[in-house]
């Protein structure tokens, strides 16, 4: 056994650290930074930008105008000083002209600035919404075998976190473009005004670049660590809240407090470290700015004294020096943003590249109604190659007949129901509905004619009414109420304060399991499909609700073809016919009495008198 | 007593009191606060020195044009001095900025550390009745986001307040004292930008909060869609789900656009106002230079001053935002910190002393919502002692679990007395009570850590042997043995996912390991199959000799062997006796007994009905 040593408080009197931990022991982090530039990612991303290319071009034009205005302002001041204030013929009229030009430039700047920020912000937002919607829509059609293997939490982090980092990238890249132009413009103007002074002043720039490049990876480590300790401490807090009843009843308060203290202490230290890292650049940038200004004053000033330079140039230089550190700072930030975006983009396009395993045939069959006969003909199926979960399974179900699927865990019951709905493609054989291969049907047709009740009744946030109606949006209030009455859910619904308008939260946690079960029955009833597939809940429900459910089940199956994965003896005995499965093969089939008389697997299961066949230990079956 | 979030927040006082309380919390680190404030002052002063140095540099460079060659060396020396001073001022400004930023952050983080611990401690001590009424998500938000809002107040509120006051105040004084009109013109953008920035920030904050809410809806729709993917597919509801998403996305996008428009409108107008002021300074200042009343250096100084002031003035909005955020988040945070647990040790409470684990309920009544609400228990009395067991049965909501919660003092009785070996549970320490009385809940909480840590939850210093013993008692050892990492296997998404029955068995092991004097099994075998339950019951027989046991169950098989069984209905005991006597009595218990045995037969008429419908 391994005792966790991390994060354990000092307990010298106990001799060793406790077997205790608060928060998750599992780090959820994915790779944060990718290559600086990934052509594939950028190209694909551009396909989402293309619909907005007019806005983007306009934004770029606006950025150029804004940058031009920024560059022009010190030049206007320089002209004002050298050619008006200090010149021979300088007068108030000429000054007014300079001010008028200044006014024109800042007005243009105002308009272009407004246009630029608005276009960048809104376009970025829209591209990102499009991308997220594309991912979401894609996931609706992705094969279930992919979804089975995917953790919801990780998928969510791609849909939110990764998408956000692309948004950041998109917004920053247009301004980064502006920064580059600005930097370039400043360099060109400085050099052309006075080449020697320009070169000297700009000599501080490489220093800043080098310092930042050395600083960046270290700072990133510190920032990342701070972020990790944050999520780890927050995770521990969330756990402490969720588990508070267990904590109090097991008297773990003080142990947990000490463990949490350690986590928060670590969080504090990492944040102090990252604050140091963030701030250490401040004096460096200030020193370099001071040095650049010092150079301008010394070298430029001496030249002015010698009459070799106009003082306006010196003033313009001083203004440019104050400006050119900003773009350098934001460009180095953009470096990280880009790396992060490339990693995120890769993950996003991975999702969009998941193939749609099952697609409708060009002229898929989409009947208005079906009779509801089902046939499995020599079906072999595997999730993983060469590990078949169903082998040569054949059976038929007549319209209106109810068949119970029985067998130990892993015998293939759930696979049968999934294949009927064509959630997966079979390896061999055929699944037929009304004598026609399910692969010929449109997906929508299968969804309409086969209703499913899952073992764990899933409810959505929203009213009870919306949950029962679900996809059948044309169902009226009366239809919903009728369905609820039939399955016996009406009574408890009408006892709720808001009746059918009661809002269910967190997947219906405010209802009992039995009640949720009844709602999912009502949902299937409103869908009014000819074939009903039902995976019975295994969890124990109190006897009263249990009885209600049995009655509801009976009503639900009236006039429909039923395929029921049955766990309860009561349900099994209620079926017209029982199909007994073992290790992916049909081993027995027939009505209850006949199977009991036959003395096979079913008879043995039955004799053991377990409440559910799933509970029967393996050794009892062999 | 109710803890709805509106009620919770009302008692905390007005905004000024809340902000003052945050300041007082900062002052626990007063040394650092003093350094931060001092460094802020110095940094601001050095920053204000820069424009003046630039101005004198320009004049210095120009100085020679008007005077004799004799002073050329002096002029150069003066320029050299100015450059050196400028470099020095820049370096010092940088250093002091580092100190004040770092100290501001440090004070904030240290205060956050104090608050995090206080919050965690408070949550652990608040009673069940609080946790019943306040949503988990709500508490997490308060402990994370609201705490963050309070922390940020130090650097974005307090330190910035000092910095901006000094920069704008001293800057304005210097400008106005140099030239009243020109100074006033240079500062003309300040009131407008400050006002715009504050208004826009508050508006943006409101928009941001609303947007977060709508983004939350989108997140929830996506999350439910992915979690419930089988339902979506089974009903062929892809288009319905897309429409639902589209609606939410449109609603969010509308706000997102509005937010950008608001932001852009305010930032661009602020820049424009600044430039207009600059143009005016250029014009009026230029005229004065022409008149000879002002030097070019002075004009440069004014322009440089304006450049330095632009950013701080724009940040006034952030300052306002920070104050608004701190007062709302502080209110929400302090509301929790100020709660007193309703259940705590009485003054002079003594440890519980166990003699023969005699549990006694005398006329116990209880209502969850206080005296006015409908009672959950009504005049319940019973006795159970070491080596004996009590079974409790009844329909859902009849008060079965409430009986268990009262014994461990998760709630206090409204009326009547509960004693253990003659000691009122309210007179003993909680620590000793909960060490002796343990409940195995129906839906146990398993932690994202190893299986052994989960089993040893109540005694993290337990020896390996007692962990394995407990596991075998709960019939979970064989299963653990099949796992490649055995007891070290992590529970959860990346480790092993456990069925309901397996979780319950872990919970039984967790509790059995602690050898309580009173053991309550609250429907704790509901998800365990009958066979395994039978085996567990056999194995529990020995430990049950040393404690009093209370079984709560809806499955009669579980209670069958209890020494006494009580049947609860609507919080009252309606029948009591042994299994045999209750069945013989022919009342509610016998009815339930018949129902459970006949559920199967009851459905026998099903097939013929269904066949009828099909034909």
In angstroms, what separates the C-alpha of B169 from chain A's closest C-alpha? 22
Q: Which residues contact A364 (CB under 8 A, 6 or more apart)?
A: A440, A441, A442, A443, A445
Beta strands in A469-551 (DSSP E): 503-504, 531-535
Each residue's pLDDT tens digit, A111-136: 999 999 899 889 988 998 999 889 88
The superfamily (CATH) of domain A37-192+341-356 is: ABC transporter type 1, transmembrane domain (1.20.1560.10)
Using alpha carbons, list the distances in angstroms from residue B353 to A337, B187, B418.
63, 77, 15
Domains and CATH numbers, chain B: 1-176+319-342 (1.20.1560.10), 359-596 (3.40.50.300)
Between residues 85 and 114 of chain A, which touch chain B (CB distance below 8 Å)? 85-86, 90-92, 95-96, 98-99, 102-103, 106-107, 109-110, 113-114
Enter the tokens of residue B582: 């209750």
pLDDT at res. A10:
41
A74 — contact with chain B (CB < 8 Å)? no
Q: Which residues of B touch A80 (CB under 8 A)?
A: 282, 286
In angstroms, what separates the C-alpha of A40 from chain B's closest C-alpha? 27
Between residues 544 and 563 of chain A, which touch chain B (CB distance below 8 Å)? 544-547, 550, 554, 557-559, 562
Least-confidence region, from A530-539, B247-256, B405-414? A530-539
Each residue's pLDDT tens digit, B106-124: 999 999 999 999 999 999 9
Q: Which residues of A touch B286 (CB under 8 A)?
A: 80, 84-85, 95, 98-99
Band (A592; pLDDT cuts 50, 70, 90): confident
Q: Give the pLDDT mean for A595-599.
A: 85
Q: Report yes or no: A163 and A348 within 8 Å, Cβ to Cβ.
A: yes
Interface contact A24-B235, CB threshold 8 A: no
pLDDT at res. B407:
94
Q: Give the pLDDT mean for A490-498.
A: 85
Band (A357; pLDDT cuts 50, 70, 90): low
Exposure class string for A97-123: b at 16+ Cβ within 10 A, else e: ebbeebbebbeebbbbbbbbbbbbbbb
- Say how far apart CA A529 and CA A420 lie, in whole Å: 14
Enter the tokens of residue B191: 């009131």
Top-confidence residue, B35 or A10: B35
- Say how far apart CA B161 and CA A401 lie, in whole Å: 78
CA atoms within 13 A on the CB side of A564: 30
Please give the mean pLDDT across all residues of chain A: 83
Q: Which residues of B touch A547 (CB under 8 A)?
A: 595, 599, 602
pLDDT at res. B604:
39
In angstroms, what separates the C-alpha of B287 from chain A's closest C-alpha? 6
> Running DSSP on this structure, what letter comes out for residue B142?
I
Interface contact B109-A244, CB threshold 8 A: no
Interface contact A576-B610, CB threshold 8 A: yes
**Count of Cβ atoms closer than 10 Å to residue B217 Cβ:** 17
Band (B535; pLDDT cuts 50, 70, 90): confident
Q: Give the pLDDT mean for B283-312.
A: 89
Band (A602; pLDDT cuts 50, 70, 90): confident
pLDDT at res. B557:
76
Share of chain B above pLDDT 90, in %: 45
Q: Which of A189, A455, A220 is nearest to A337 (CA)?
A: A220
In angstroms, what separates the C-alpha of A194 from chain B's closest C-alpha? 16
Using alpha carbons, list the distances in angstroms from residue B543 to B433, B519, B537, B547, B604.
19, 10, 10, 7, 42
Q: Where are the domains of chain A?
A: 37-192+341-356, 195-308, 374-621
Please report where in the chains the tokens 């022919």 appear, as a residue. Answer: B586
Interface contact B253-A251, CB threshold 8 A: no
Enter the tokens of residue A306: 């010698």
Please list the residues that pair with B481 across neighbouring strands. Answer: none
Residue A148 clears pLDDT 70, i.e. is over it: yes
pLDDT at res. B38:
94
pLDDT at res. A421:
83
- In chain A, DSSP finds a helix count (H) and a strand count (E) of 23, 12
For B110, nearest residue in chain A (alpha carbons): A268
Interface contact B279-A14, CB threshold 8 A: no
Enter the tokens of residue B398: 């009849």
Interface contact A140-B453, CB threshold 8 A: no
Helix segments in B235-381, DSSP class H: 238-291, 296-314, 316-337
**Count of Cβ atoms closer than 10 Å to residue B458 Cβ:** 20
Q: Report yes or no: B78 and B60 within 8 Å, Cβ to Cβ.
A: yes
Least-confidence region, from B107-111, B171-175, B600-604? B600-604
Q: Give the pLDDT mean for A214-239.
A: 86
Least-confidence region, from A32-41, A199-208, A253-262? A32-41
Q: Give the pLDDT mean for A556-564.
A: 87
Residue A587 clears pLDDT 80, i.e. is over it: yes
> Running DSSP on this structure, what letter comes out for residue A408?
S
pLDDT at res. A25:
63
pLDDT at res. A407:
79
pLDDT at res. B567:
93
Between residues 413 and 432 of chain A, which touch chain B (CB distance below 8 Å)? 421, 423
Query: Which among A245, A258, A546, A549 is the top mutation candidate for probing chain B, defined by the most B β-carbons within 10 Å of its own β-carbon?
Result: A245
Q: Give the pLDDT mean for A479-508.
A: 84
Q: Report yes or no: B14 and B341 within 8 Å, Cβ to Cβ.
A: no
- Say how far apart CA B394 and CA B525 lie, in whole Å: 16
Interface contact A23-B448, CB threshold 8 A: yes
For B431, nearest residue in chain A (alpha carbons): A251
pLDDT at res. A259:
93
Residue B375: strand, helix, or coil: coil
- Phi, psi for residue A217 in degrees, rounded to 5: -60, -35
Please give the mean pLDDT across all residues of chain B: 86
- Say how far apart CA A491 and CA B74 lie, in whole Å: 101
Helix segments in A298-412, DSSP class H: 301-305, 311-352
Band (A4; pLDDT cuts 50, 70, 90): very low
CATH number, domain A374-621, options 3.40.190.10, 3.30.1600.10, 3.40.50.300, 3.30.1050.10? 3.40.50.300
pLDDT at res. B19:
93
Q: Give the pLDDT mean for B42-52.
A: 92
- Say how far apart CA A65 and CA A467 lie, in whole Å: 54
Top-confidence residue, A130 or B539: A130
ipTM of the complex: 0.86
For B501, nearest residue in chain A (alpha carbons): A539
CA A93 to mean position of chain CA atoms: 63
Residue A9 clears pLDDT 70, i.e. is over it: no
Q: Report yes or no: A523 and A444 within 8 Å, Cβ to Cβ.
A: no
Residue B610 clears pLDDT 50, i.e. is over it: no
User: How many contacts, defined by CB atoms under 8 Å, are there between A and B?
Assistant: 480
pLDDT at res. B605:
36
pLDDT at res. A15:
64
pLDDT at res. B136:
80
Pairing verdict, β A428-433 and A462-463: unpaired
Each residue's pLDDT tens digit, B126-137: 988 888 878 787
Of B54, B246, B603, the CB nearest to A318: B54
Q: ∠A616-A617-A620 over CA atoms, to 5°?
A: 90
Q: Which residues of B touch A610 (CB under 8 A)?
A: 529-531
Interface contact B529-A614, CB threshold 8 A: yes
Share of chain A above pLDDT 90, in %: 21
Q: Which of B424, B382, B425 is nearest to B552 (CA)?
A: B382
> Running DSSP on this structure, what letter comes out for residue A473?
T
A452 — contact with chain B (CB < 8 Å)? yes
Each residue's pLDDT tens digit, B376-435: 899 999 999 999 999 999 887 788 889 999 999 999 999 999 999 999 999 999 999 999
């Amino acid at each position: 056994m391994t005792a966790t040593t991390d994060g354990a408080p000092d307990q010298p009197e106990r001799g060793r650290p406790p077997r205790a931990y608060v928060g998750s022991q599992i780090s959820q982090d994915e790779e944060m930074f990718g290559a600086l530039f990934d052509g594939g990612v950028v190209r694909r991303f551009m396909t989402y930008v293309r619909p907005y290319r007019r806005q983007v071009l306009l934004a770029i034009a606006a950025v150029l105008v804004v940058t031009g205005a920024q560059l022009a302002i010190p030049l206007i001041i320089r002209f004002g000083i050298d050619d008006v204030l200090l010149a021979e013929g300088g007068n108030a009229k000429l000054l007014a002209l300079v001010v008028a030009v200044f006014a024109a430039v800042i007005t243009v700047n105002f308009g272009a600035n407004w246009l630029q920020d608005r276009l960048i912000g809104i376009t970025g937002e829209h591209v990102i919404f499009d991308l997220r919607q594309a991912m979401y829509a894609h996931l609706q059609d992705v094969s279930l075998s992919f979804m089975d293997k995917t953790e919801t939490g990780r998928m969510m982090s791609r849909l939110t976190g990764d998408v956000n980092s692309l948004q950041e990238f998109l917004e920053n890249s247009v301004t980064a473009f502006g920064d580059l132009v600005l930097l370039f413009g400043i360099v060109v103007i400085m050099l052309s005004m006075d080449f020697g002074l320009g070169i000297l002043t700009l000599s501080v720039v490489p220093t800043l670049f080098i310092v930042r490049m050395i600083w960046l990876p270290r700072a990133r480590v510190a920032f990342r660590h701070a972020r990790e300790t944050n999520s780890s401490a927050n995770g521990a807090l969330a756990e402490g809240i969720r588990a508070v009843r267990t904590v109090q009843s097991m008297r773990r308060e003080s142990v947990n407090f000490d463990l949490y203290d350690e986590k928060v202490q670590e969080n504090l230290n990492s944040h102090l470290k990252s604050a140091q890292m963030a701030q250490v650049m401040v004096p460096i940038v200030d020193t370099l700015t001071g040095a650049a200004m010092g150079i301008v004053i010394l070298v430029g000033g001496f030249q002015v004294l010698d009459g070799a330079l106009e003082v306006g140039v010196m003033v313009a230089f001083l203004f440019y020096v104050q400006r050119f550190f900003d773009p350098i700072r934001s460009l180095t930030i953009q470096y990280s943003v880009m790396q992060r975006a490339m990693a995120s983009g890769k993950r996003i396009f991975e999702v969009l590249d998941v193939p749609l395993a099952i697609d409708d045939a060009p002229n898929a069959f989409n009947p208005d109604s079906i009779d509801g006969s089902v046939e499995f003909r020599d079906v072999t199926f595997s999730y993983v190659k060469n590990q078949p979960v169903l082998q040569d399974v054949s059976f038929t179900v007549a319209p209106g007949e109810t068949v119970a699927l029985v067998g130990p865990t892993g015998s293939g019951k759930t696979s049968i129901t999934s294949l009927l709905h064509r959630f997966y493609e079979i390896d061999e054989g055929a699944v037929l509905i009304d004598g026609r291969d399910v692969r010929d049907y449109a997906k929508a047709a299968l969804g309409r004619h086969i209703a499913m009740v899952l073992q764990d009744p899933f409810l959505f946030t929203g009213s009870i009414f919306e949950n029962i109606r679900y996809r059948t949006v044309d169902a009226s209030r009366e239809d919903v109420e009728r369905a609820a009455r039939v399955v016996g859910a009406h009574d408890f619904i009408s006892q709720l304060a808001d009746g059918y308008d009661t809002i269910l939260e967190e997947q219906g946690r405010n209802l009992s399991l039995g009640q949720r079960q009844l709602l999912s029955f009502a949902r299937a009833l409103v869908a009014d499909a000819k074939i009903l597939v039902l995976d019975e809940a295994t969890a124990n429900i109190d006897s009263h609700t249990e009885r209600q459910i049995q009655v509801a089940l009976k009503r639900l199956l009236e006039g429909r073809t039923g395929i029921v994965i049955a766990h309860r003896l009561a349900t099994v005995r209620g079926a017209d016919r029982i199909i007994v499965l073992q290790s992916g093969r049909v081993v027995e089939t027939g009505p209850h009495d006949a199977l009991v008389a036959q003395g096979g697997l079913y008879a043995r299961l039955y004799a053991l008198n377990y409440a559910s066949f799933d509970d029967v230990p393996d050794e009892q079956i062999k | 007593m109710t803890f709805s979030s509106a009620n919770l927040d009302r008692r905390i006082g007005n905004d000024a009191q809340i902000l003052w309380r945050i300041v007082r919390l900062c002052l626990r680190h007063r040394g650092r606060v003093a350094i931060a404030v001092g460094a802020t002052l110095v940094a601001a002063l050095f920053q204000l020195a820069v424009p003046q140095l630039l101005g004198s540099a320009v004049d210095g460079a120009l100085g020679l044009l008007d005077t004799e060659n004799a002073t050329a060396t002096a002029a150069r020396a003066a320029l050299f001095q100015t450059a050196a001073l400028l470099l020095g001022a820049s370096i010092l400004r940088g250093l002091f900025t580092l100190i004040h930023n770092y100290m501001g952050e440090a004070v904030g983080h240290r205060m956050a550390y104090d608050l995090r611990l206080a919050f965690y401690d408070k949550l652990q001590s608040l009673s069940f009745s609080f946790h019943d009424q306040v949503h988990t998500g709500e508490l997490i938000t308060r402990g994370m986001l609201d705490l963050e809002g309070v922390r940020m107040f130090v650097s974005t509120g307090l330190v910035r307040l000092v910095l901006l006051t000094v920069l704008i105040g001293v800057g304005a004084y210097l400008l106005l004292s140099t030239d009243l009109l020109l100074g006033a013109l240079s500062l003309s953008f300040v009131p407008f930008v400050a006002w715009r920035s504050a208004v826009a920030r508050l508006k943006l904050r409101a928009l941001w909060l609303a947007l977060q809410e709508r983004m939350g809806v989108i997140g929830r729709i996506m999350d439910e869609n992915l979690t419930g993917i089988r339902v979506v597919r089974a009903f062929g509801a892809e288009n319905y789900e897309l429409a639902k998403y589209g609606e939410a996305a449109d609603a969010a996008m509308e706000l997102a656009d509005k937010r950008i428009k608001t932001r852009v409108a305010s930032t661009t107008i602020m820049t424009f106002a600044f430039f207009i002021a600059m143009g005016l300074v250029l014009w009026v200042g230029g005229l004065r230079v022409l008149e000879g009343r002002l030097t070019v250096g002075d004009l440069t100084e004014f322009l440089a001053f304006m450049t330095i002031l632009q950013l701080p003035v724009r940040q006034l909005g952030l300052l306002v935002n920070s104050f608004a955020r701190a007062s709302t988040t502080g209110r929400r945070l302090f509301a929790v910190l100020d709660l007193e647990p309703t259940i705590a040790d009485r003054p002079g409470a003594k440890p519980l002393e166990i003699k023969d684990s005699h549990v006694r309920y005398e006329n116990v009544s209880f209502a969850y919502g206080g005296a006015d609400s409908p009672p959950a228990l009504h005049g319940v009395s019973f006795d159970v002692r070491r080596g004996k067991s009590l079974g409790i049965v009844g329909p859902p909501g009849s008060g079965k679990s409430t009986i268990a919660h009262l014994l461990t003092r998760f709630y206090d009785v409204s009326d009547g007395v509960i004693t253990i070996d003659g000691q009122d549970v309210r007179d003993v320490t909680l620590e000793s009570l909960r060490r002796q009385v343990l409940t195995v809940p129906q839906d146990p909480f398993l932690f994202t850590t190893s299986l052994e840590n989960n089993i040893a939850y109540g005694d993290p210093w337990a020896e390996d042997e007692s962990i394995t013993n407990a596991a075998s008692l709960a019939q979970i050892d064989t299963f653990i043995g099949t796992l490649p990492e055995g007891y070290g296997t992590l529970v959860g998404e990346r480790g092993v996912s456990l069925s309901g029955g397996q979780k319950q068995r872990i919970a039984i092991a967790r509790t059995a390991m602690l050898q309580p004097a009173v053991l309550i099994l609250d429907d704790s075998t509901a998800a365990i199959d009958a066979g395994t339950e039978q085996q567990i019951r056999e194995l529990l027989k020995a430990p049950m000799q040393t404690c009093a046991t209370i079984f709560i169950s809806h499955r009669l098989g579980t209670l069958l062997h209890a020494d006494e069984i009580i049947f609860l209905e609507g919080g009252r005991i309606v029948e009591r006796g042994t299994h045999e006597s209750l069945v013989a009595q022919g009342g509610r218990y016998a009815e339930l007994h018949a129902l459970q045995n006949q559920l199967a037969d009851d459905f026998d008429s099903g097939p013929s009905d269904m066949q009828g419908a099909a034909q």
